[in-house]
Amino acid sequence: MKTVHVSEITALVRALCIKANCELPADIRESFVKGQAAEKSPLGKEIFGKMIDNCDLACKNGVPVCQDTGMAVVFAEIGQEVHLEGGLLEDAVNEGVRQGYRDGYLRCSVVGDPLRRVNTDDNTPAILYTSLAAGDEVHITVAPKGFGSENMSAMKMFTPAASKEDIIGFIVDACSRAGSNPCPPIVIGVGLGGTSDKAAYLAKRALMRPAGQRAADPLYAEMEEEILRRVNALGIGPQGLGGTVTALAAAIEPYATHIAGLPCVVNIGCHVTRHAEGKL
């Protein structure tokens, strides 16, 4: 049994909050390079160049890649051979977010109540998802989520009679209706199956998949490719100013579901679909 003091989790979350906001994942930056090469619009190519410059300057200078430093979404996978001591996991995570946003001079965007709208001034509480895994490691991923893209989420409870075409059409329509709001080019995360809440979770997790990596199942890999093709044919383009690259990646995460249902949730990531991970 491995013992981990929760102060170590706080320190890791603090560091990941800063890293995620200032250093884009290598696969996202590479998707900018590929997108610039594929983009046919001269203005679109120029915008991709600015995106690459912004990414590199943020990393070099240790400043946020976007002024909306998001609501902290934290995935904590706890090995079953790990014993946590010194306090509660949720408290440790929130303290890490508090320290990370304070010490990293990151914008605090969280209000403590959805109707009273009073800012908590430290970007807590985080959205925390926990799961148990084999082994003796604590694996944490921090994924700050801006709400220009989060507000473009969509859900549909399909009947089991829905076809692949129905599902693809819904996903493409959600991206079309989003337009320029999520700061395209976008990353498209799709959760398919489970219950409504499980599908929403899967859609968020789908955004963590490396850009360009297809689903292992050929059925879903083919759907991802078709979604990407159709969304890029919409002509929305980089930053919504027209072009041939509206989406950088599409990922579907399926799950078992009930005989009477087929939930589908679309979660859109902006061009800076941020996440950073670490282990203890």
Give residue 266's region: left, alpha or beta (phi > 0; psi -120 to 50): beta
CA distances in angstroms from 44 to 161, 205, 226, listed in the order given: 40, 28, 22
Q: pLDDT value at position 136? A: 97
Rounded to an integer, what distance in angstroms lies between the CA atom of residue 82 and that of residue 101? 27
Rounded to an integer, what distance in angstroms lies between the CA atom of residue 253 and that of residue 23? 25
Q: What tens digit of pLDDT does each residue of 7-58 get? A: 999 999 999 999 999 999 999 999 999 999 999 999 999 999 999 999 999 9
Tokens of 80: 């079953």
Q: What tens digit of pLDDT does each residue of 200-238 get? A: 999 999 999 999 899 999 999 999 999 999 999 999 999
Read off the pLDDT band of 239 (50, 70, 90): very high
Question: Mean pLDDT score of the chain, rounded to an integer?
Answer: 97
- Residues 6 or more apart in contact with residue 53 via CB below 8 angstroms: none
* β-pair partners for 142: 74, 276
Q: What is the DSSP string of 89-102?
A: HHHHHHHHHHHHHH
3-state secondary structure of 57: helix
Q: pLDDT value at position 256? A: 98
For residues 60-77, average pLDDT:
97
3-state secondary structure of 48: helix
- Let me know how long the chain is: 280
For residues 100-108, average pLDDT:
97
For residues 85-111, average pLDDT:
98
3-state secondary structure of 30: helix
Q: pLDDT value at position 116? A: 98
Read off the pLDDT band of 62 (50, 70, 90): very high
Read off the pLDDT band of 190 (50, 70, 90): very high
Helical (H) or strand (E) element with 263: strand 262-269
Q: pLDDT value at position 257? A: 98
Q: What tens digit of pLDDT does each residue of 146-185 get? A: 999 999 999 999 999 999 999 999 999 999 999 999 999 9
Q: pLDDT value at position 229? A: 98
Rounded to an integer, what distance in angstroms lies between the CA atom of residue 100 and that of residue 11? 9
The strand ranges marked E within 34-170 are: 71-79, 82-85, 127-133, 138-145, 154-158
As a dihedral over the C-alpha atoms of residue 119, residue 120, residue 123, residue 129, rounded to 10 degrees, the angle is -110
Residue (of 142, 2, 5, 144) closest to 76 by Cα position: 142
Rounded to an integer, what distance in angstroms lies between the CA atom of residue 47 and that of residue 36? 8
Q: pLDDT value at position 133? A: 97
Q: pLDDT value at position 64? A: 97
Burial of 32: CB neighbours in 10 Å, binned 0-12, 13-18, 19+: buried
Helix axes 89-103, 6-22, angle to 10 degrees: 40
3-state secondary structure of 267: strand
